Chain A
Amino acid sequence: EIVLTQSPGTLSLSPGERVTLSCRASQSVKNYLVWYQQKPGQTPRLLIYDASNRATGIPDRFSGSGSGTDFTLTISRLEPEDFAVYYCQQYGSSPYTFGQGTKLEIK
């Protein structure tokens, strides 16, 4: 089973700041990685697929990069609605594991 490790666990930032979230895989998943955003009481929302492609309707302040074992999600300028939990998930190899999540909170 491929283990995804997200870092940091929690980030405290202010609106307007730039943030980079990390997701590291225990073995290569090529570019078969997605990023989700989840707000309290809501279902996850797909942000990025195939490591670097924005899903439909996702603002261009969100960007993904990486391949193999190291991936990042960057939010270029935080908006108030971006404070949430972010998960990466790999679909390179079954079971299609999730990372443990990074919580982005308002400072």
Chain B
Amino acid sequence: EVQLVESGGGLVQPGGSLRLSCAASGFSLKNYWMHWVRQGPGKGLVWLSRINIDGSTTSYADSVKGRFTISRDNAKNTVYLQMNSLRDEDTAVYYCARGGPDAYWGQGTLVTVSS
């Protein structure tokens, strides 16, 4: 069974950092581009970042460029999102997603940025 399980969310103060993980099972992560997407409370979907299959190229939304870093460890079947300089407006559920015509999303992890 295909699964993506995000972890690492929680409550953090403005200016703080978190590292999200996305563990894949039931398929080999190394064959897919991977993405991070977030959804604020009651809001729409916002694409944040993507990484290619070997991690050699990445791209980011302007809203997180310079603050967030996507990476992957194919040997561990895991993708990461390092989030620094967090702001109140980064409060959201963060999803990792497998790209392509067989796209698949994890259940998400909640990040709350608040003092």
Query: Does B45 lie within 8 Å of A43, measured CB to CB?
Result: no
Select the stretch in A15-23, A64-72, A75-83, A92-100 that faces chain B: A92-100
On whether A97 and B47 interact (CB within 8 A), knowing A43-B95, A43-B106, A43-B107, the answer reads yes
Number of A interface residues, CB 8 Å?
Answer: 24
Query: Does A89 lie within 8 Å of B47, measured CB to CB?
Result: yes
Which B residues, 27 to 85, have Cβ-Cβ distances below 8 Å to chain A? 35, 37, 44-47, 50, 59-62
Interface residue? B26 (CB, 8 A):
no
CB contacts (< 8 Å) of B99 on chain A: these are 91
Partner of B44 from A46, A53, A91, A100 at Cβ < 8 Å: A100
Q: How far is the CB of B53 from chain A (nearest CB, A)?
A: 15
CB contacts (< 8 Å) of A46 on chain B: these are 101-104
Interface residue? A1 (CB, 8 A):
yes
Which A residues, 22 to 76, have Cβ-Cβ distances below 8 Å to chain B? 34, 36, 38, 43-44, 46, 49-50, 53, 55-56
A-B interface pairs (CB < 8 A), number: 51
Assign chain B's interface to a size class: 20 to 34
Majority-rule SS of A interface residues = loop
Which B residues, 76 to 115, have Cβ-Cβ distances below 8 Å to chain A? 95, 99-108
Q: How far is the CB of B1 from chain A (nearest CB, A)?
A: 14
Q: How far is the CB of B64 from chain A (nearest CB, A)?
A: 10
Question: What are 19 contact pairs spanning A and B, CB under 8 A?
Answer: A43-B105, A43-B106, A43-B107, A44-B95, A46-B101, A49-B100, A50-B101, A53-B101, A55-B101, A85-B44, A87-B44, A89-B45, A91-B99, A95-B47, A96-B35, A96-B47, A98-B46, A99-B44, A101-B45
